[in-house]
């Protein structure tokens, strides 16, 4: 945007002012996210109140930036990249302001949680807040550096927040079922996780706008850097094998890496095992995919309403297909854990399954 030198120094100054104000607005909402979490971890309600007060500054910046942009549009009548940059800023401030509103919501729940004993350590919420804050910062950095690839990486991170949100939701539901006295605290914790998940959605919007600014390509609702004529992608994919410990876990990790962030990826098993197989984690790390944080899940843990594609990886038809699934595929693969031999021979079997899954997942765009 704003890296080009114009003959009019005044014009350059106006563009620089818009950029600086946008970054200031972004810094304030980042501070609200980080401060809200610290207020929860340290049970510091005074800090939460201070973070809430920043919202008025964010709101003022939104109005000021809009006025600056309108003034430049009327006075300079920019074209091409400058026009895209200025109109992009006018859209971005709306999402940044809404991130600020969600920061206020988080602080409100934090104050309520600080008035009662802690239900559990807030480790997952801490991870979510760090990801949400990082996504917001990276989207704005991509805007300044005009880096579409960095923006694309922000979009891909959104699935990590979705994963944590689903995990926290299920955990809080368990707490509520165990003891009705947990309901108040569990619902507040679940609300905080939802606000953080929504911040990720707004950061994704920011990144998509950056891609438009740089590439002049609108990728909203397409889920990838392409066009509407590309093959339709599944909305949500569920990979299934009996124990959800090897093949389906590897497929989940690969699909998250290879497919756009708009595709929801899950895996599950009929009788979930206790952990993901260590050799599966090892061979996936060899290609830069970390599945060590994934855990075996049952069908009850999956939001089935998000799934339109069911892929069975069992060598036998042991896992039934839900009746309402639109696409039903079978990629029968042997269980590499059943292979004997040396450790290197076992690793080779796991690698073969990994590579076959990669080939199959790359065919999903033709559904």
* pLDDT tens string 66-76: 999 999 988 88
Same structural domain for residues 206 and 244? no
With 80 as the cut, is the pLDDT of residue 367 above it? Answer: no
With 80 as the cut, is the pLDDT of residue 366 above it? Answer: no
Domain membership of residue 135 (yes or no) is: yes
Higher model confidence: residue 328 or residue 278? 278
User: What per-residue confidence (pLDDT) applies to 3?
Assistant: 47
With 50 as the cut, is the pLDDT of residue 234 above it? Answer: yes
With 50 as the cut, is the pLDDT of residue 92 above it? Answer: yes
Q: Average pLDDT, stretch 206-232?
A: 69
- Annotated catalytic residue: which of 319, 333, 361, 364? 319
Instruction: Indicate the pLDDT class of residue 263, thresholds 50, 70 and 90.
Output: confident
Instruction: Report the b/e string of 85-118 with b at 16+ CB within 10 A.
Output: bbbbbbebbebbbbbbbbbbbbbbbbbbbbeeee
Q: Where are the alpha helices (DSSP H) in 42-115?
A: 45-76, 80-113
Domain boundary among 164, 181, 215: 215
Q: How far apart are CA 10 and CA 16, in angstroms?
A: 10
Same structural domain for residues 240 and 95? no
User: What per-residue confidence (pLDDT) applies to 326?
Assistant: 64
pLDDT in tens, 131-173: 999 999 999 999 999 999 899 889 878 877 887 888 888 889 8
Domain boundary among 163, 180, 215: 215
Which residue is it, tokens 């990994």?
354
Same structural domain for residues 206 and 249? no
Q: How far apart are CA 156 and CA 135, in angstroms?
A: 10
CATH code of the domain in which 247 resides: 3.40.50.2300
Q: How far apart are CA 123 and CA 97, in angstroms?
A: 27
Q: How far apart are CA 278 and CA 356, in angstroms?
A: 19
With 60 as the cut, is the pLDDT of residue 110 above it? Answer: yes
- Annotated catalytic residue: which of 241, 255, 281, 349? 241
Instruction: Indicate the pLDDT class of residue 232, thresholds 50, 70 and 90.
Output: low
Q: Half-sphere exposure of residue 222, counting CA atoms within 13 Å on the CB side? A: 17
Q: How far apart are CA 363 and CA 311, in angstroms?
A: 13
Asked whether the whole model's pTM tops 0.85, one would answer no
The domain in which residue 150 lies consists of 9-215
Domain boundary among 163, 185, 215: 215
Number of domain units in the chain: 2
CB 98 within 8 A of CB 202: yes
Domain membership of residue 3 (yes or no) is: no
Higher model confidence: residue 80 or residue 2? 80
User: What per-residue confidence (pLDDT) applies to 24?
Assistant: 96
Q: What is the dihedral of CA 67, 72, 74, 78, to 10 degrees?
A: -140
Domain membership of residue 91 (yes or no) is: yes
Instruction: Indicate the pLDDT class of residue 322, thresholds 50, 70 and 90.
Output: low
With 50 as the cut, is the pLDDT of residue 226 above it? Answer: no
Same structural domain for residues 188 and 46? yes
With 80 as the cut, is the pLDDT of residue 305 above it? Answer: no
Same structural domain for residues 211 and 241? no
Q: How far apart are CA 322 and CA 240, in angstroms?
A: 12
Domain membership of residue 227 (yes or no) is: no
User: What per-residue confidence (pLDDT) applies to 225?
Assistant: 41
Same structural domain for residues 166 and 256? no
Same structural domain for residues 198 and 277? no
Same structural domain for residues 202 and 310? no
pLDDT in tens, 33-91: 999 999 999 999 999 999 999 999 999 999 999 999 999 988 888 777 788 889 999 99
User: What per-residue confidence (pLDDT) applies to 356?
Assistant: 93
Instruction: Report the b/e string of 18-42 with b at 16+ CB within 10 A.
Output: bbebbeebbebbbbbbbbbbbbbbe
Mean pLDDT of all residues in the chain? Answer: 87
pLDDT in tens, 329-365: 889 888 898 888 888 989 999 999 999 999 999 888 6
Same structural domain for residues 205 and 242? no
Q: How far apart are CA 224 and CA 111, in angstroms?
A: 39
69 is catalytic: no
Same structural domain for residues 196 and 321? no
Q: What is the dihedral of CA 335, 337, 338, 344, to 10 degrees?
A: 120
- Annotated catalytic residue: which of 192, 203, 268, 314? 314
CB 5 within 8 A of CB 93: no
Which residue is it, tokens 């350590």?
121
Q: Say how many C-beta atoms besides its own lie within 10 A of residue 261's C-beta.
A: 23
Q: How far apart are CA 54 and CA 185, in angstroms?
A: 26
With 60 as the cut, is the pLDDT of residue 218 above it? Answer: yes
Same structural domain for residues 160 and 33? yes
């Amino acid at each position: 945007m704003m890296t080009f030198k114009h003959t009019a120094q005044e014009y350059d100054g106006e563009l620089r002012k818009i950029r600086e104000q946008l970054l200031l607005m972004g810094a304030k909402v980042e501070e609200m996210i980080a401060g809200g979490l610290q207020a929860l971890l340290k049970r510091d309600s005074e800090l939460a109140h201070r973070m809430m007060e920043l919202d008025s500054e964010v709101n003022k910046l939104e109005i000021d930036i809009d006025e600056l942009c309108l003034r430049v549009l009327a006075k300079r009548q920019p074209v091409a990249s400058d026009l895209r940059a200025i109109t992009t800023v006018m859209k971005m401030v709306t999402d940044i302001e809404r991130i600020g509103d969600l920061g206020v919501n988080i602080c409100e729940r934090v104050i309520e949680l600080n008035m009662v004993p802690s239900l559990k350590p807030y480790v997952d919420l801490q991870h979510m807040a760090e990801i949400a804050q990082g996504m917001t910062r990276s989207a704005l950095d991509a805007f300044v550096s005009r880096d579409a690839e960095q923006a694309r990486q922000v979009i891909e991170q959104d699935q990590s927040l979705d994963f944590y949100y689903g995990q926290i939701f299920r955990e809080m539901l368990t707490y509520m079922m165990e003891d009705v006295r947990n309901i108040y605290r569990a619902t507040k914790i679940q609300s905080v996780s939802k606000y953080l998940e929504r911040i990720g959605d707004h950061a994704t919007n920011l990144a998509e706008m950056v891609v438009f600014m740089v590439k002049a390509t609108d990728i909203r609702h397409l889920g990838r850097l392409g066009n509407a004529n590309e093959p339709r992608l599944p909305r949500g994919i569920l990979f299934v094998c009996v124990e959800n410990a090897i093949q389906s876990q590897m497929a989940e990790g690969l699909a998250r890496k290879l497919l756009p962030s708009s595709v929801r990826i899950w895996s599950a098993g009929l009788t979930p095992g206790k952990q993901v197989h260590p050799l599966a984690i090892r061979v996936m790390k060899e290609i830069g995919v970390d599945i060590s944080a994934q855990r075996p899940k049952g069908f009850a843990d999956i939001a089935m309403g998000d799934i339109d594609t069911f892929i069975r990886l069992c060598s036998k038809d042991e896992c039934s297909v839900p009746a309402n699934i639109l696409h039903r595929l079978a990629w029968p693969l042997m269980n590499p854990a059943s292979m004997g031999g040396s450790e290197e021979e076992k690793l080779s079997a796991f690698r073969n399954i990994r590579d076959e899954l990669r080939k199959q997942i790359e065919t999903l765009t033709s559904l």
